Amino acid sequence: MIGEGLSRTDGPLKVTGRALYSAERREMGEPLHGFILGAAIGQGRVASIDTSRAEAMAGVRLVWTHRNAPPQAAIIPKSDILDVKPQLTTDRIAHYGAPVAFVVADTFEQARAAAAAIDVSYDAAPGAFVLDEASVAPEWHDESRVGDLDAAMASSDATVDAVYATPYHFSQPMELHACIADWRNGHLTLHIASQMVAQLADAVADTILIGRDCVTVDSRFVGGGFGAKIALHAEAILSALATRQLNRPVQLVLTRRQGFTVVGHRPASISRVRLAASRDGRLTGIGHDANIQVSPEGNWKEGVATVARALYAAPHRLTRTRHSTLDTGVCEPVRGPGEVPGLMVFESAMDELAEKLGIDPLELRIRNDTAIDPEKNRPLSGRRLVECLREGAARFGWDQRPTRPASRLDGRWLIGYGVGSSIRGHYQTTAEARVRLEPDGQVIVQTDMTDIGTGTYTIAAQVAAAALGVPVAQVRVELARSNLPRGNGAGGSWGSGNTSVSIDRACQGLKEKIGQVAGIGYNDLFAEVRRHFPAGLEAVGTTLGMDDEPSYDNFSIFTYGATFTEVGVDVMTGETRIRRMLGVFSAGRILNAKTARSQLIGGMIWGISAALHEAAHVDPRNGAWVNGDFAEYLVPTHADVPQIDAIALDDFDGAANHLGAKGIGELGSGGTAGSVANAVYNATGVRVRDFPITISKLLPGLPKI
Ligand code: MOS
């Protein structure tokens, strides 16, 4: 049962349109519609704002600016992503596109037209919008130092010392950020696209100054999150304030473009990677200095420089981060935070080192395996990176790799192979789930965990069915309401680990309760329920977080993977095409082979995207995103993703939890991006260190034939 590649239990609802996403809910009646007007400058103040034309327009119910918006909690500078987020409480503009006015009208079109009729003038001020050496503060943060990297660099046989740049990324899930807020009898219900409902409910309550027990968040179906639906954003706050004022449900859906301004981003980064090795390919030193953008408002820091801390052995190590405070908006978690940019550049540097040493890049990685966390000095549980590398190499045909760059031509295509390692922390956090047995044979699983397209509905049913020995069809899973038992939502790839453990524990609790009255060795679970618990029986299961469970200090727990990529680069035009790709991953026990494979493949596609496509470009004059829409912010399409496969090793990591399962949501992407970059180098002999690898960066270096 556990591990079986069961199709999604919510699949039929989704393909028939019966799974209602937040903006489709109508049980509260027809909502009014809101629209946000965003700032047209990147720094400064609103000098004047005239809403009289908008207020006079048809259907308009409310127009708010900083002059008349309701009182809210005070702004917290450097706030965490689920802290209070007051809206329209100041005339100061923190970044381009930040809300300056809000309109509610009978229809979306009326609201948008009225917002466009608001006359705003600004006092623009200079801002810092460009990530470079001039904008960086001198002090280092989050420094981890072992041994003496400088000495290793000075005395080793081969070194790499290279600077790489990664751009701004946005999560941009398919479903837009959407909320219907409904104030009724002093209670606020938010139907909102969210990854972490209970935390969001608390943050909304704290922002609009009502009791936390006066808010319920419901995110039953979410069309992708990728980190963008963790933080509290304006759509929740403004719709909540408006429904309370108007006593009507209020719907607020951000436009795709507002998904680039009202929602945060992955910061751009500049990394200096230093590697030192002896002639036989043993790393003597590992260094990663990252300069990342941070925001004056938010506190989220992308862990770019930290990805190599447990990846390879080396006696001398230094990883640290500098912060460039820029006015380009708030940083938030975006698909594989840290690993996507961090591994992309680090695994590129490993490839550069292999080239210098004349060692196969696969072999270089294998030679530097470690069973011990090199910085925490404790065992790495479930460390199977080398198996991922070897298994992948065998299946992919790595021995067919061109050994010299730019040496294989297939028609007009230069062919190259690349490999990249993946590593991602496993996080177990506190979570609860309730399981209820009805006398009629129904099992009900309840937790506030969300299913953001990842498969929670399905694996939750599988785990309960397996624990109780009933068919999956007998299990009803209720998710994503903040009044259900609290967990930590979907984020950090921890959702399925937390949720499965607490569901299994609840089921074990139920079996114990029944065993106590029925004796062990009963035959029919539900016959005993009917006999002894005619009103049904329920139990709550708890997952203990890593901070509360001392045994977690005995190991460092990660997931691992290796991605192999073959590219063709058009020798005339510089166009890069993925020809095939294979990822092999070790992520503990797999709960559902089908949804797991989908997660891994999805991650790998984002890896392709980071290597070749994605970059949000900032206008240096005002911090606006010049390509902030889906016409110009490139992501891979079907035509960009040909034959691609992901395999999970048969695995079990008892250090993670008693089910042996670890997170997989973000594992697929990090090493994949590096493997693409390395394949492009192998094909062309051109090393692009400024991501993404686009035609204009490749073309000048292509061999002339
Ligand atoms: Mo993930 S970027 O923590 O949803």
Ligand 1 atom nearest to CA at 665: 1
Q: Is the CB of 225 under 6 A from ligand 1?
A: yes
Q: Which residue has better confidence, 445 or 705?
A: 445
Neighbours of 2 (CB within 10 A): 18
The mean per-residue pLDDT over the stretch 680-686 comes to: 98
Confidence band, pLDDT 50/70/90 cuts, at residue 228: very high
Q: What's the gap in Å between 196 CA and the centre of ligand 1?
A: 11
Ligand 1 atom nearest to CA at 195: 4
**Residue of 230, 300, 669 to mutate, ligand 1, most atoms within 8 A of C-beta:** 230
| Stated pTM of the model | 0.97
Q: Is the CB of 173 under 6 A from ligand 1?
A: no
pLDDT of residue 421: 98
The mean per-residue pLDDT over the stretch 654-667 comes to: 96
Identify any residues that bridge with 650 across adjacent strands, giving them in sequence order: none
Beta strands 32-38 and 250-253, pairing class = parallel
Q: Which of 139, 243, 134, 119 is nearest to 182 (CA)?
A: 243
Q: Which residues contact 570 (CB under 8 A, 6 or more apart)?
A: 412, 413, 414, 576, 577
Q: Is the CB of 264 under 6 A from ligand 1?
A: no
pLDDT of residue 670: 85
Ligand 1 atom nearest to CA at 336: 2
Instruction: Please give, one letter per residue, the 3-state secondary structure of 208-249.
Output: HCCCHHHEEEECCCCCCCCCCCCCCCHHHHHHHHHHHHHCCC
Kindly provide the b/e burial profile for residues 409-445, where b requires at least 16 CB atoms within 10 angstroms of the residue's own CB. Answer: eeeebbbbbbbbbbbbbbbbbbbbbbbbbbeeeebbb
Helix (H) and strand (E) counts for the chain?
A: 15, 25
pLDDT of residue 19: 97
The mean per-residue pLDDT over the stretch 353-361 comes to: 98
Q: Is the CB of 663 under 6 A from ligand 1?
A: no
Tell the residue number behind the tokens 């294979």, with chain if given. Answer: 582
Spatial separation of the C-alpha atoms in residues 106 and 248, rounded to whole Å: 11
Q: Is the CB of 333 under 6 A from ligand 1?
A: yes
Q: Give the closest residue (by CA) to ligand 1 atom 4.
A: 227
Q: What's the gap in Å between 341 CA and the centre of ligand 1?
A: 14
Q: Are 170 and 200 in contact (CB under 8 A)?
A: no
Q: Is the CB of 492 under 6 A from ligand 1?
A: yes
Q: Are 669 and 334 in contact (CB under 8 A)?
A: no
Rg (CA), the chain: 26
pLDDT of residue 486: 97
Neighbours of 26 (CB within 10 A): 13
Condensed to tens digits (0 to 9), the pLDDT of residues 291-302 reads 999 999 999 999
Q: What's the gap in Å between 56 CA and the centre of ligand 1?
A: 43
The size of the chain, in residues, is: 705
Condensed to tens digits (0 to 9), the pLDDT of residues 146-172 reads 999 999 999 999 999 999 999 999 999
pLDDT of residue 520: 81
The mean per-residue pLDDT over the stretch 543-570 comes to: 96
Q: Is the CB of 420 under 6 A from ligand 1?
A: no
Q: Is the CB of 670 under 6 A from ligand 1?
A: no
The mean per-residue pLDDT over the stretch 35-40 comes to: 98
Q: What's the gap in Å between 491 CA and the centre of ligand 1?
A: 4
The mean per-residue pLDDT over the stretch 266-295 comes to: 98
* pLDDT of 705 strictly over 80: no
Q: Which of 129, 105, 166, 104 is nearest to 44 (CA)?
A: 129
Instruction: Please give, one letter per residue, the 3-state secondary structure of 392-437.
Output: HHHHHCHHHCCCCCCCCEECCEEEEEEEEEEEEECCCCCEEEEEEE
Q: Which of 226, 175, 388, 357 is nearest to 284 (CA)?
A: 357
Q: Is the CB of 298 under 6 A from ligand 1?
A: no
pLDDT of residue 133: 85
Q: Give me the catalytic one of 347, 352, 391, 666.
A: 666
pLDDT of residue 521: 85
Q: Are 607 and 676 in contact (CB under 8 A)?
A: yes
Phi, psi (rounded to 5 degrees) for 24: -100, -5
Q: Are 398 and 362 in contact (CB under 8 A)?
A: yes
Mean pLDDT over the full length of the chain: 97
The mean per-residue pLDDT over the stretch 325-353 comes to: 98
Confidence band, pLDDT 50/70/90 cuts, at residue 336: very high
**Residue of 424, 426, 666 to mutate, ligand 1, most atoms within 8 A of C-beta:** 666
Kindly provide the b/e burial profile for residues 636-673, where b requires at least 16 CB atoms within 10 angstroms of the residue's own CB. Answer: beeebeeebebebbebebebbbebbbbbbbbbbbbbbb
Q: What's the gap in Å between 334 CA and the centre of ligand 1?
A: 6
Tokens for 360? 């196969």
Say if residue 138 is preceded by a cis peptide, omega within 30 of 0: no
Spatial separation of the C-alpha atoms in residues 580 and 400, rounded to whole Å: 14
Spatial separation of the C-alpha atoms in residues 248 and 31, rounded to whole Å: 7
Q: Are 120 and 40 in contact (CB under 8 A)?
A: yes
Lowest-confidence region among 30-44, 188-202, 512-526, 591-605: 512-526
What angle in degrees, to the nearest 10, is found between the helix axes of 525-532 and 495-518? Answer: 60
Confidence band, pLDDT 50/70/90 cuts, at residue 700: very high
Tokens for 438? 């009805």
Identify any residues that bridge with 35 across adjacent strands, giving them in sequence order: 103
Is 24 noted as a catalytic residue in this protein? no
Q: Are 506 and 437 in contact (CB under 8 A)?
A: no
Ligand 1 atom nearest to CA at 225: 4
Ligand 1 atom nearest to CA at 171: 2
Q: What's the gap in Å between 369 CA and the centre of ligand 1?
A: 27
**Residue of 335, 426, 451, 488 to mutate, ligand 1, most atoms within 8 A of C-beta:** 335
Q: What's the gap in Å between 301 CA and the centre of ligand 1?
A: 13
Q: What's the gap in Å between 231 CA and the centre of ligand 1?
A: 10
Tokens for 659? 């089910």
